[in-house]
Structures are given as C-alpha cells and as structure tokens.
Structure 1
C-alpha cells in the first residue's frame, strides 16, 4: 500500500528500514511515550496480513521521518487500531499530514467504522494532536503498564466514520 500527498509518501516498511524504526523508538524524545519493540516484533508486523507497517517519507527530501502501524485489517468489526505512530522531526506537520492520509484511507477506502488507539496519559503532545484530529477519549486504563518507576495509565481514544464525515 502506498498513500501520497504533496508533503508525504507512506509506503510499506521494508526490513532494511528497521534500523531506522528501532533507533527512532529509542530516541530520548520518543522512548518515554512508547514501549519500544525489538526488531523481531517489527518484522512480524511487516509480514502480518492483519496490519500495515508504513514508513513516513518526506516527499521533498525522500528521507524517512517516521513510521505508523495500523492493525485489525482482518477484523470483522470494521474497527482498526492505530498501534503506533512515531515521528522524528516534530513540529513540521508530518503527524497532521499522516493522519489526514490514514483517516481518508481508513474511512473512505477501507470503509472502516472506527479507528482507535491508546496513549500514555502523560503524552500531552500526542493527546492534543489526536484531539485535533477528531479523536475523543473513551476511557482510561488505570495503571495498566508497569515501568521502572511504577505504573502508568493509558487513555483509549477513537474516531468514528460518522465523526470523520461530519468534520471532513
């Protein structure tokens, strides 16, 4: 699958991209807000028929600026999960443009009813981006992730096709 705009190209991740993907996860700006995966887990996601693991490429420079994983392609419930989006160059509009492309694909091309995600409650930058993209907080999984400092909570957020269509 390839999605394109004037700014970005989203293309399927290849095994040769995984060094970039894993280094992006371990970056000090990103690591506190995600649970980094080993390369083997990313390889499984690339090969899975239930998910898309896509590189986010800056069209002008043709360099990778992030990646996104969408899962649930085989779901009978028309509900897809945004497993992860990680962007290298923050504040450049890459996240906003990636969401524009992904939501259009999810709701218009794939005809899904729901796109959902979970986000750490302390990841205010991401939560604000998701809200601007039409996602609403459905609830909170309290202290569901154990880390070196204790426990963390996750918000579950989603956007429905009807909400997307009303704000398009």
Structure 2
C-alpha cells in the first residue's frame, strides 16, 4: 500500500468515483461531474497550495483517494476527505490512507488542526476517525441534503498535540 500524488492519468478513475451516488453522498456532493470538468479543475488547482490530493494504491491498483483541502497556512488547519472504492472496503485501506494523510498534514505541512465532516449515520467512518484520535466537536443539524432528505453531520477534528505519529 502507498500514497502518491494525484496525476492527470488518474482522472478517469476519480471521475468514476465522483459520479457514484453512494460514494459522493458521504462527501455531501452531487454525483455529477464530467471528465472535462475534472480535467479543468485538475489544471486549475495544479499549483494551488491550499490542496493536496493523493491516490491510494496497492499493487498498481487504484484503491481510492485522500485529500487535504482548504489548507489554511495562517490558522494552520485543513479539511481531510477520503474515498475508498467499495470493492476495497473493510480491508484496512481507509485506515492506512487516513494515517498517512494525517501524518503528512502534521509533519510536512505543519498543520495545527485537521478537521472533517461526517454523516452521523456513517458509523463505520466515525469509528475509523475516532480510532485515529479525532473527536466530535459538534453536531451540524440538517447540514446536507441527499436522497430527498436533510441529514445531520458531525464536525470532527484532531489537534497536532493530540496526534501520535
């Protein structure tokens, strides 16, 4: 298993993930994005210091993607997002990717705090985040809309001083 920087030739796989409703509902986003739009965004953010995107790979197979976004160098915080392909779920890839990205944020980018938003019904993800030391900081009532209804989300975060690398 390894993390590596997102490359332009990875975009077809990311496009596939971004258009899967069951996946994108966890990111609170509409599963609608053209490959052309994705390529435009890749080019636009290529030199953007407020984002880092990594491919999760195992034996040359793309397993998923983990991203550090909204990187704020003044307040030293960022949001973390992760997608693991459903066929690789439950095999430790999410934990691996999460650990590596968290390590990168704290030890390379010198972030003070990493945060995320998670559906309160996504117990598996909440468990993974808590096992990594993330704490619930708040409940965001009816924060996102999916499948015809509003859903709650937790705001979870980890401070660098709480992190053990």
What is the total number of aligned residue pairs between the two structures? 156
Does 1:53 find its partner at 2:46?
no
Question: Within 5 Å, which residues of 2 pair with 1:92-131?
Answer: 92-131=91-130
Supply the RMSD in Å over aligned alpha carbons.
2.1
- What is the Cα deviation at residue 51 of structure 1? 0.1
After the TM superposition, list the runs of 4 or more consecutive aligned residues in structure 1 that deviate by more than 6 angstroms. none
CA contact (8 A) 1:116 1:156 kept: yes
The equivalent residue for 1:87 is 84
Cα distance in 2 for residues equivalent to 1:164 and 1:37: 36
- Cα deviation, residue 154, structure 1: 1.3
Correspondent of 1:75 among 73, 76, 80? 73
Q: Does the 8 Å CA contact 1:25/1:86 hold for their aligned counterparts?
A: no
Shift of 1:43: 4.6
Q: Distance in 2 between matches of 1:107 and 1:49?
A: 15
What's 1:62 paired with?
A: 60
CA displacement at 1:49 relative to structure 2: 2.5
The 8 Å contact of residues 11 and 38 in structure 2, kept in 1 or not, is answered as no
TM-score w.r.t. the length of structure 2 is: 0.83
Q: Gapped runs of 5+ residues in structure 1?
A: 1-6
Match of 2:158 in 1: 159
The alpha-carbon distance between structure 1 residues 25 and 15, as it changes in their structure 2 partners (threshold 3 A), is same
Structure 1 pair 80/42, CA: closer, same or farther in 2 (3 Å)? farther
The worse-fitting range, judged by mean Cα deviation, of 32-41 and 113-122 is: 32-41
- CA distance, structure 1, for counterparts of residue 103 and residue 143 of structure 2: 31
Unaligned segments of structure 2, at least 5 residues: none
